[in-house]
Chains A and B, each alone.
Chain A
Amino acid sequence: MLKFILSKLLYLIPTMLGITLVAFSFIRLLPGDPVLLMAGERGVSPERYAEISAQLGYDKPLWQQYFTYLGDLMHGDLGHSIVTKKPVLAEFLALFPATVELAVVAIIIATVIGVPVGVIAAIKRGSWFDQISMTGALIGFSMPIFWWGLLLIIFFSGILQWTPVSGRISLMYFFPQVTGFMLIDSLISGQKGAFGSALGHLILPSVVLATIPLAVIARQTRSAMLEVMGEDYVRTAKAKGLSLGRVIGVHALRNAMIPVITTIGLQIGVLMAGAILTETIFSWPGIGKWMIDSISRRDYPVVQSGLLLIAGIVMIVNLLVDLTYGLINPRIRHK
């Protein structure tokens, strides 16, 4: 087991190296120049341009810039934002908990609803429930997030006034950030009503973010269940006279869960992509919005180090997912 984890971790190193190269060149391949974007309509004199470029190190050849970047990384220096002049890591750490909180709640919603819906749809294949839920999943999967988020805001926050429009907590609550997770910090603060307010603010954005993963998980669960339900051992279990609950819960679902868990793991990447739009609509101070702003301003250090951090986290989550297979199916337990 330990050997398995170590070998996986070893794989991370060349992958991360590859990501630094991709992130570094990707943002530089985009046309546009951070210094010109900063100067705007006013323009910048050639001397001033040269001065600023030299200060940022952009006058050197690209390969040299890349190796300087790698060298800094080895020292744990992820660079400074060109725009805010602040360290990239500090900005990331300030914003990351908000994204994690949103993503975790979203994936819980997607799993808790998606798996049962998939199971029922599979058992009652062809029923009205199956038809409606799978059509719903198709619509959910193709929903433009931006439009969907705004629609929910207008309906639930505007017309019904059930939920707040945007932000993480009502502005009347003000307490120090201990963990960065608003649900936890609001509890620690001990301020009355703070937790409820934080929860209320989470509902719409997490539902919006959960929409696509929910659709994918429901469909994946359904097809995995259908496949397993046709297996001999399930038929045997049924023939032995086991209750339907036991046949599904113990024999079928457990085996059907392997591809479903893979799917859930893969949704982490989807969540990161979805977070970009969701965070923008709901004024959610997370890393999605941060990356988008940095790309549009060609803030090279933020984009390259931010991508590296996000990719690293997605890979670690996927490694953890790999490990959970063993818990469910002893046959693929790593020795």
Chain B
Amino acid sequence: MSIFSTRFLAASALALMAAAPLHAKTFVYCSEGSPEGFDPAPYTAGTTFDASGHAIYNRLVQFKPGTTEIEPALAESWEVSEDGLTYTFHLRKGVKFHSNDKFTPSRDFNADDVIFTFNRQANADDPWHAYISGITYEYYSSMEMDKLVKSIEKVDDNTVKFTLNSPEAPFLANVAMPFVSVVSKEYADTLQAAGTMEDLNNAPIGTGPFKFVAYQKDAVIRYQKNADYWGEAPKIDDLVFAITPDASVRLQKLKAGECHLMPYPAPADLADIKADPNLKLDEQAGLNVGYLAYNTTVAPFDKPEVRKALNMAMDKKALIDAVYQGNAEVAKNPIPPTMWSYNAAIEDDKYDPEAAKKMLEDAGVKDLTMEVWAMPVQRPYMPNARRAAEIIQSDFAKVGVKVEIVSYEWGEYLKKSMEAGRKGAVILGWTGDNGDPDNFLSVLLSCASAEEGGANRAFWCNDEFSALLAKAKASSDQAERTKLYEEAQVIFKDQAPWATLAHSTQYVPMAKNVTGFVQSPLGDYTFETVDLAE
């Protein structure tokens, strides 16, 4: 968008604002970063989804607030065929798209919008597939939607039928994700005719709880409540994202009343926040896992008993205190306890250096020297990998294993850690995309993901485990899937391709007068339910 049209937009937005009552209820969120753009399809950052997909748009189905359960959204109901290959969605009637100075919708949301949303990502011949230079649809391809979706048909204006190439139970969770937020076909046509296609990314039109008003790069995003929202209308009138990259500054802004809510507090500030009488702190177990992945294809780590022994040598409680400052729980399974199918019956390996030492001796391991890789970046699942590696180093030293800590630049780290024959064990982690166990287990531990370009950094390929995942994926019966995943976790624990380290806790500090904020296990920040008490 040219500078001129940015200004024009801001000016017309101003006119819009002027029409609103002067002392409207304004909610300010101190967000941690700038959105990459406002088209939810081509980008992958959570920050972008909060600013675009969640605020402005809706999807066919959505996650029930505070859970990873699927509930109706733009689709009122749906049916899945016996063979799990066709999904028929019945669309909600009377849903209105937003309007702005260049566009006023002439019709309600319908099947054409749904088909356009998917086709522009799937189909390289679609004029919208490459409407911005260098654009790619990373989520669409990484969730393998391109391989999965065979066809999308419009049955009638309010019915859409998806046919899949193979049965895939997580499909519903996929279509609840922000990258398939429904965009208006009519708006796209208008922009195409006007020759301003990039405005789809700069001046978004959706059906969501908030209308986009203006974005000032790296500074402020402004939204206004969508009074015609099909769901329960937001309780606040205006929503503002004040972009504040530094965590300590965000907290100072929150304390000074310059914003009402902030994400990602610095762990060192938590005690201070708890002590502040004007603030409150919401906490929830995060949908994540931090782990240490052995290379199960290289001796002596190809022996499960060696990996098991090393896991027993690790004092995870001490690690959590030092690395997460206590703000995490010990992980015993590869999926977090907030996820359905979590096998609570599994017992974690006991911390027992003596027994571990003996097991290593029995396995014929003597004078072992190994590398432990420490990530160079902070992630919610691993706030300080260097410190974690040091603790593992000292724990392993007690059982006679010498550890050398290595690290690389982040891009290199990701690449080298997936190179076949890699030496040493890698610290890494994962945060769920869609709340489906398959999004952890298949992505991180299946045989297919051990290939080049996958994310199985243990290179662990267990046929029995992978078969269970495949079977679960093909079933749409959640009770059956739960049983299969529980079984898979037993195999995982027995084979120990990873040392599961921790599931970290998510904290959301906010002003005392904020009500109705619901934390999302997926780490999304959504504001249609928030209110400010007088």
**Could you tell me which A residues sit within 8 Å of B by CB distance?**
30-34, 36-49, 52, 55-56, 80, 82-86, 90-91, 93-95, 98, 150, 153-154, 157-158, 161, 164-168, 171-172, 174-178, 280-283, 285-286, 289-290, 298
Contacts and interface: CB of A to CB of B under 8 A. Distances in A.
Given A43-B455, A45-B452, A285-B218, A165 B253 contact: yes
Size bracket, chain B contacts = 35 or more
Given A80-B134, A177-B216, A45 B222 contact: no
Nearest to A146: B246
A240 B246 CA distance: 60
A38 B138 contact: yes
A30 B258 contact: no
B244 A33 contact: no
A84 B253 CA distance: 27
Taking chain B's interface residues, is the majority helix, strand, or loop, or is none over half, making it mixed? mixed
Contacts, number: 157
A285 B258 contact: no
Interface stretch (B167-175, B177-185, B409-417): B409-417
Contact of A41 (B10, B11, B201, B429): B429
6 contacts: A32-B411, A39-B414, A80-B132, A83-B36, A85-B36, A90-B2
Contacts of A171: 26, 28, 220, 240, 242, 258
Contacts of B136: 52, 55
Given A153-B252, A176-B14, A285-B216, 11 more contacts: A32-B411, A33-B415, A43-B454, A45-B452, A80-B134, A93-B3, A157-B252, A158-B256, A175-B10, A176-B11, A285-B217
Interface of B: 1-3, 6-7, 10-11, 13-14, 17, 26, 28, 36-37, 42, 44, 132-136, 138, 141-142, 201, 214, 216-220, 222, 240, 242-246, 248-249, 252-253, 255-256, 258, 408-412, 414-415, 418, 428-430, 443, 452-455
Given A42-B455, A90-B1, A166-B253, A85 B412 contact: no
B219 A283 contact: yes
Contacts of B414: 36-37, 39-41, 43
A144 to B, nearest CB: 14
Across the A-B interface, the 7 shortest Cβ-Cβ residue pairs = A45-B453, A32-B411, A285-B218, A285-B219, A176-B10, A176-B11, A36-B411
A278 B17 CA distance: 32
Query: Which of B14, B133, B249, B453 has the largest number of chain A CB atoms within 10 A?
Result: B249
A55 B129 CA distance: 13
Query: Which of B2, B6, B256 has the largest number of chain A CB atoms within 10 A?
Result: B256
A34 B136 CA distance: 13
Given A38-B44, A85-B201, A290-B218, A283 B249 contact: yes
Given A48-B453, A150-B248, A283-B243, A36 B256 contact: no
Given A94-B3, A161-B256, A168-B219, A32 B410 contact: yes
B7 to A, nearest CB: 5
A12 to B, nearest CB: 25
Contact of A165 (B3, B218, B249): B249
Contact of A94 (B6, B243, B253, B443): B6
Nearest to B218: A285
Nearest to B433: A42
Nearest to B411: A32
Contacts of B415: 33, 36
Given A157-B252, A166-B253, A85 B217 contact: no
A284 to B, nearest CB: 8
A308 B252 CA distance: 35
B233 to A, nearest CB: 22
A94 to B, nearest CB: 5
A281 B429 CA distance: 28
Given A36-B414, A158-B252, A166-B244, A94 B217 contact: yes
